[in-house]
Amino acid sequence: MKLGVIYGSMRENGNTARLTEEVIKHLPGVTEVDLKNYDFKDIIDQRHDKGGFDRVDDEYDRIIDQIIDCDVLIFSTPIYWYGMTSVMKRFIDRWSQTVRDDKYPDFKEKMGQKQAYIIAVGGDNPREKGIALVKQFTYICQFIGLQYKGYVLGQAAKPDDILQDEEALEDARKLGELLQKRAEMGNYL
């Protein structure tokens, strides 16, 4: 069974990554995709064009190829202006193209076989104000068919602040333990 983490931070070793590490540190074979390390473009909406979407020459398909066979996806993003980061949003926006791409004819079906978790960290009362981000991901999961399973929200602003948020660290450890038990049973689902 495979677990994939999609990182949406633009900072190296940021608070969101540190919190995510608490979840995955004992899990085998985690596929980690750091979106900032890929050159992929914004979507050009051609859903209603006669010819559909044009092929895009970028690294987006490399990301999809890494996560398409994962059983569980963790979306790990800082909370920027009460939402996900722009790189995470750009990645998800491109799904509109992928569901119509003959290279991935069963994309939506495969996404419907996966579970999804969200890990997000913000500095302005994220346990209250981060709920809008959680709701947005819930709707995204419903639309694409992902089985939304839950979230971990942490509070941090400056580097390493997350290490002071015991509630978030405990929530992350519990999620990691749950996923580890499922992995030991041979099935994250």
Tell me the CATH number at 160.
3.40.50.360
pLDDT in tens, 81-126: 999 999 999 999 999 889 988 899 999 999 999 999 999 999 999 9
In terms of residue numbers, what domain contains 115? 3-187
User: Per-residue pLDDT tens for 134-188?
Assistant: 999 999 999 999 999 999 999 999 999 999 999 999 999 999 999 998 888 876 5
Task: Kindly give, in sequence order, each residue whose CB lies less than 8 Å from that of residue 40, ignoring residues fewer than 6 positions away.
Answer: 56, 58, 59, 60, 63, 90, 91, 94
Where on the phi/psi map is residue 150: left (φ > 0), alpha (ψ -120 to 50), or beta? Answer: left
**What is the rounded distance in angstroms from the CA atom of residue 53 to the CA atom of residue 126?**
37
Q: Is the pLDDT of residue 46 over 80?
A: no
Count of the separate structural domains present in the chain: 1
The runs of H, that is alpha helices, within the chain are 15-24, 60-67, 86-93, 95-98, 107-111, 126-129, 131-144, 166-184
pTM: 0.93
Backbone CA torsion sign across 142, 81, 35, 31: negative
